[in-house]
Chain A
Amino acid sequence: MASEDARYRETSQFQAWSFSPAQLAAMREKTNAIARQRIAERMLASASNPPTSNNTSHANTPDPSGHGTPNPTENSTPTLPDFLKPEEEALLVSFYVSELLRAADHLGVPDEVRATATVFFRRFFLTNSIMTYPPQEMILVALFVGSKAEGRFPRIIEFQQKFNTKQDILAGEFLLCQGNRFNFEVRHPFRALMGATMELRSYGDIDEQRIIAAEKRAHEILLFSPLMTDAYFHYTPSQIMFAALSLADRGLAERLIQETFHFVPPTTNNDNTPAVTPLPGLENPGIGRKEGGSKGITTNDERAAIVGPGIRDKVMGTIEACRNMLSTELPERKSHWTSEAIFKSQIRPVRKKLTKCRDPDRWNLSELQRQRREAGVRRADSEERPAASNGAKDAAIFGGDLSADAPEKKRRKVDGNGLEDPFGGPL
């Protein structure tokens, strides 16, 4: 197999974020099940439980001053709400992705930012339930972090002005990064499409207008269809590109495949075909890793394994499957997702359900972040100075946020404990 493939397999996109459909479905079910359980626990806890001092350092510390999260079932034996099913979560994720894409249009971001933000959003709601964190806010968080990941560093004030939200974006940033396991590199099919059209032009016998039209349509598809579906979880960027091109002009996509997998088992030994033609649109093979690789390929079997008909058929099958997936969400479906009728009949009922079953402790991002920061400061304090500290006393009296001051810094300097101290230890 070609070395570009080997290199793609080293990316976090492949190693951490590529799944079979069965794996993906299992993850979503598991995420949903955990969320139900946790939310039920938290609802019961916040409904019946007076503040205690031995809770974990998580943010579900009940706020003694009473202005924490709203408590829907105060003082009564709570009845648990009807939770969202995995398929309802999936519907909402799709709806909010369509909203994200509209927000991206509103913001006027480059293609890569739009796509990266969407991928971040989808990944986040793979290991987090939509009942746990607010998707409406996470849209903007994803756009904010997506911009950063693509090397544009927006001012938060731009987002404030355009979307009229404030601290929630910053409060959700860290969560979203964590939900993406800090994998900031996402590979997209846009440049691949440019490469493919250059390759098509190099054949010299294809009408230029046809190429232009195909590229335009395929690009339009890439900006919507793979983002609205699970394509990024199942297919490589080049496969997605080929699928989009195939939807735009199947003949051109097939021509490219035929030209690439050109190897025909020879009838004579006198075979002059060049060793390897790299897949169009993919990176050039690097010299270091190529050594002992494609340079050394000489036998017909090895060639057939790379550019032969067996591989070609497999690739075409994969592209066809990806094409089918993309065809369920062609760009024309934009109007479906913005339709008032659809919203009323399909989205609103689920959203109503969601307002009743969402996580009482984690829905408010700003409040959650404030509590976590405080918990972190308290924890850092107790970690650095095991005995009852002035800082802790101060915190008890003054409400907690004093330890970031100068005395704390001084204390850290005389640190000397902490050897072999597993961080993450209990409070």
Chain B
Amino acid sequence: MANSPLVARPTDALQPPKSLPPSSGGTPSGGLPRSARGQQIAALARPTMDLMEQMNEDEKNKYIKGKKLGEGTYANVYLGHSRLDSSTQVAIKKIKVQKEYQDGIAPDAIREMKYLQKLRGHANIIILHSVFSSKDQNLNLVLEYLPLGDLEMLIRDVDHVRYGAADIKAWMGMLTRAIWWCHDNYVLHRDIKPNNLLIAADGEVKLADFGLARSFADPGVRMTANVITRWYRPPELLFGARHYSGAVDIWSVGLVFAELIIRAPYLPGNSEVEQIALICREIGTPTEENWPGVTQLKEYTVPSDVVPVAGKDKYMGRFGAVGSDGVDLLTKTLVLDPRKRITAREMLEHRWWKADPKPTPKHDLPKKTAGAEEKLAADLKRRNGMVEDDDVRGSKVARKLDFGAAR
């Protein structure tokens, strides 16, 4: 190594993280230097293929495509498994060419690939095993197969699914770790909601859908305010903030927390104006006193009757099922001023996790298998960052993403 300028191989005092998937897992970055030679030799044996095409073909051949799980306008989803190990199931998401997007590969596809690659190696982020192109130049994303649906269907099925404080704590722990990992890697997710939280066979919750994600912006670089599904969108974005932080995700996490407790969306506004009104009514009216500078935000408008910020006792009445410590954490995620909102790391250090009851072990978490496969397919074939019109929520979420503008 001393005579090679190549980046030094680990001789770590620190152990490499154990949560990494095996490098043979077939990520597109699975080791060109080591395997390239073999592929090149193979390439020579197969006429008409260039090296790049051959590498793509090898990637594709690692998986066998099975039945179609779902079909959508944005993508088709197939069940598949590894050729080497048929017990390793995968979901293959074949993204269709978007007729209405005239500017090539769509932003959500690029973002999903980029950030899933960047964030891989964490137990609570969906694994992107591989990306390859099929002959008709469609993108195929080989994703972790998560057969137990999503958190939304558990929350909604009030008649058949029972869960308690220990289960909520376990799920929230997984969500918080996922979002901590995103932020620790300088990635904003910007679309956290229950149906983006998929459930693995062993009960582990995985954050999916990175179609709206982006890296932390440099100071002075503007970002779009038009992100995050409305019910989970924080007040600073509703007021049109163009410089924001990981706090936008924390607000969404708080609303998922609230929804897990009351088993209904906490702030289901039908328009942005209504969303702001709901926040003011339930949480408090943002003012210069509780949020210095808020009135300077471009789209700051609040109802004229100013509601004081809710105290903990108000939350205890509705959310007391998670106990006093749980409510304390909830209120800290729903602080109006993003600078005072709790961070993901601070969340992980909160005392609630250590208080009784202990979080349910993931294998013992409530499950719902009926309809889970369909739900997975519905989640994956959905356009990233989008709510379909026929979504159960029915609300039309007009999200005019201005991809042309600087963000």
Q: What residues make up the interface of A, taking CB atoms closer than 8 Å to B?
A: 1-3, 5-6, 8-12, 14-21, 23, 26-27, 30-31, 34-35, 37-38, 41-42, 56-58, 60, 127-129, 132, 144-145, 148-149, 151-156, 169-170, 173-174, 177-179, 181-185, 191, 234-236, 239, 283, 286-290, 292-294, 297, 302, 305-306, 314, 317-318, 321-322, 369, 372-373, 375-377, 379-380, 412-413, 415, 418-424
**Does A18 contact B6, Cβ atoms closer than 8 Å?**
yes
Q: How far is the CA of A383 from the CA of B104 in the complex (A)?
A: 26
* A169, A318, A418: the one within 8 Å of B68 (CB): A418
Chain B residue numbers with a CB within 8 Å of A288 are 177, 180-181, 184
**Does B134 contact A181, Cβ atoms closer than 8 Å?**
no
Chain B residue numbers with a CB within 8 Å of A12 are 27-29, 117
**Does A185 contact B52, Cβ atoms closer than 8 Å?**
no
Q: Measured between C-beta atoms, what is the minimum distance from A114 to chain B in Å?
A: 15
Q: Measured between C-beta atoms, what is the minimum distance from A20 to chain B in Å?
A: 4
7 nearest interchain CB pairs?
Answer: A376-B136, A12-B29, A16-B29, A153-B403, A184-B114, A293-B14, A182-B131
State whether the Cβ of B30 lies closer than 8 Å to any Cβ in chain A.
Answer: yes
State whether the Cβ of B57 lies closer than 8 Å to any Cβ in chain A.
Answer: yes
Shortest Cβ distance from B133 into A: residue = A178
Using A12-B29, A12-B117, A372-B136 as known contacts, say yes or no to A293 and B15 having CB atoms under 8 A apart.
yes
* B4, B50, B55, B138: the one within 8 Å of A376 (CB): B138
Q: For A27, A184, A283, A287, which residue has the most chain B Cβ atoms within 10 angstroms?
A: A184
State whether the Cβ of B311 lies closer than 8 Å to any Cβ in chain A.
Answer: no
**Does A318 contact B184, Cβ atoms closer than 8 Å?**
no
Q: How far is the CA of A148 from the CA of B320 in the complex (A)?
A: 45
Chain A residue numbers with a CB within 8 Å of B64 are 420-422
* A30, A185, A305: the one within 8 Å of B40 (CB): A30
State whether the Cβ of B32 lies closer than 8 Å to any Cβ in chain A.
Answer: yes
**Does A183 contact B103, Cβ atoms closer than 8 Å?**
no
* A2, A34, A283: the one within 8 Å of B44 (CB): A34
State whether the Cβ of B87 lies closer than 8 Å to any Cβ in chain A.
Answer: no
Shortest Cβ distance from A297 into B: residue = B13
Chain A residue numbers with a CB within 8 Å of B10 are 1, 5-6, 9
Chain A residue numbers with a CB within 8 Å of B66 are 418-420
State whether the Cβ of B392 lies closer than 8 Å to any Cβ in chain A.
Answer: no
Q: For A3, A127, A185, A415, which residue has the most chain B Cβ atoms within 10 angstroms?
A: A127
**Does B135 contact A375, Cβ atoms closer than 8 Å?**
yes
Q: How far is the CA of A301 from the CA of B269 in the complex (A)?
A: 60
**Does A10 contact B121, Cβ atoms closer than 8 Å?**
yes
Chain A residue numbers with a CB within 8 Å of B186 are 283
Q: Show 30 residue pairs from A and B whose CB-CB distance is below 8 angstroms, ordered by the A residue.
A: A3-B14, A5-B12, A6-B10, A11-B118, A15-B23, A16-B28, A20-B4, A31-B51, A38-B48, A41-B47, A148-B104, A173-B104, A178-B133, A182-B28, A182-B139, A234-B5, A234-B7, A283-B186, A288-B177, A288-B184, A289-B14, A292-B15, A293-B14, A318-B5, A376-B135, A379-B136, A420-B66, A422-B61, A422-B64, A423-B134
Shortest Cβ distance from B67 into A: residue = A419
**Does A424 contact B134, Cβ atoms closer than 8 Å?**
yes
Q: How far is the CA of A183 from the CA of B120 in the complex (A)?
A: 13
Q: For B2, B11, B53, B121, which residue has the most chain A Cβ atoms within 10 angstroms?
A: B53
**Does B138 contact A236, Cβ atoms closer than 8 Å?**
no
**Does B51 contact A127, Cβ atoms closer than 8 Å?**
yes
**Does B7 contact A148, Cβ atoms closer than 8 Å?**
no
**Does A424 contact B60, Cβ atoms closer than 8 Å?**
yes
Q: Which of B29-44 contact A (CB under 8 A)?
A: 29-33, 36-37, 40, 43-44
Q: Measured between C-beta atoms, what is the minimum distance from A203 to chain B in Å?
A: 23
Q: How far is the CA of A236 from the CA of B7 in the complex (A)?
A: 7
Q: Which of B114-160 contact A (CB under 8 A)?
A: 114, 117-118, 120-121, 131, 133-139
Chain A residue numbers with a CB within 8 Å of B135 are 57, 372, 375-376, 379, 424
User: Which of B105-113, B198-206, B300-308, B333-341 contacts the other chain?
Assistant: B105-113
**Does B48 contact A56, Cβ atoms closer than 8 Å?**
yes
**Does A17 contact B32, Cβ atoms closer than 8 Å?**
yes
**Does B31 contact A314, Cβ atoms closer than 8 Å?**
no
* A8, A183, A375: the one within 8 Å of B28 (CB): A183
Q: How far is the CA of A249 from the CA of B53 in the complex (A)?
A: 45
**Does A20 contact B55, Cβ atoms closer than 8 Å?**
no
State whether the Cβ of B404 lies closer than 8 Å to any Cβ in chain A.
Answer: yes
**Does B56 contact A178, Cβ atoms closer than 8 Å?**
yes
State whether the Cβ of B65 lies closer than 8 Å to any Cβ in chain A.
Answer: yes
**Does B65 contact A148, Cβ atoms closer than 8 Å?**
no
**Does B136 contact A377, Cβ atoms closer than 8 Å?**
yes
Q: For A6, A10, A153, A174, which residue has the most chain B Cβ atoms within 10 angstroms?
A: A153
Q: Measured between C-beta atoms, what is the minimum distance from B173 to chain A in Å?
A: 13
Chain A residue numbers with a CB within 8 Å of B61 are 422, 424
Q: How far is the CA of A315 from the CA of B66 in the complex (A)?
A: 50
**Does A181 contact B29, Cβ atoms closer than 8 Å?**
yes
Question: Known pairs A288-B177, A318-B8. 6 more at Cβ < 8 A?
Answer: A1-B8, A41-B47, A145-B105, A148-B105, A151-B407, A182-B117
Q: How far is the CA of A380 from the CA of B71 in the complex (A)?
A: 15
* A31, A182, A419: the one within 8 Å of B113 (CB): A182
**Does B181 contact A34, Cβ atoms closer than 8 Å?**
no
Chain A residue numbers with a CB within 8 Å of B214 are 151
Q: How far is the CA of A283 from the CA of B53 in the complex (A)?
A: 35
Q: Measured between C-beta atoms, what is the minimum distance from B31 to chain A in Å?
A: 6
**Does A60 contact B48, Cβ atoms closer than 8 Å?**
yes
State whether the Cβ of B293 lies closer than 8 Å to any Cβ in chain A.
Answer: no
Shortest Cβ distance from A42 into B: residue = B48
Q: Measured between C-beta atoms, what is the minimum distance from B78 to chain A in Å?
A: 8
Using A127-B55, A181-B28, A379-B135 as known contacts, say yes or no to A423 and B12 having CB atoms under 8 A apart.
no
Chain B residue numbers with a CB within 8 Å of A8 are 7
Using A19-B6, A185-B114, A294-B14 as known contacts, say yes or no to A151 and B215 having CB atoms under 8 A apart.
yes
Q: How far is the CA of A16 from the CA of B34 in the complex (A)?
A: 9
Chain B residue numbers with a CB within 8 Å of A1 are 8, 10-14
Chain A residue numbers with a CB within 8 Å of B53 are 178
State whether the Cβ of B102 lies closer than 8 Å to any Cβ in chain A.
Answer: yes
* A129, A183, A283: the one within 8 Å of B117 (CB): A183
Using A19-B33, A306-B13, A413-B71 as known contacts, say yes or no to A128 and B50 having CB atoms under 8 A apart.
yes
Shortest Cβ distance from A34 into B: residue = B51
**Does A16 contact B138, Cβ atoms closer than 8 Å?**
no
Chain A residue numbers with a CB within 8 Å of B40 are 30, 34
* A14, A41, A156, A185: the one within 8 Å of B102 (CB): A156
Shortest Cβ distance from A9 into B: residue = B10
**Does A128 contact B103, Cβ atoms closer than 8 Å?**
no
Q: Interface readout for B229-244 with A: 1 if CB under 8 Å, 0 if not?
A: 0000000000000000
Shortest Cβ distance from A182 into B: residue = B131
**Does A372 contact B114, Cβ atoms closer than 8 Å?**
no
Q: Measured between C-beta atoms, what is the minimum distance from A15 to chain B in Å?
A: 4
Shortest Cβ distance from A368 into B: residue = B137
Q: How far is the CA of A25 from the CA of B7 in the complex (A)?
A: 17
Q: Interface readout for B320-345 with A: 1 if CB under 8 Å, 0 if not?
A: 00000000000000000000000001
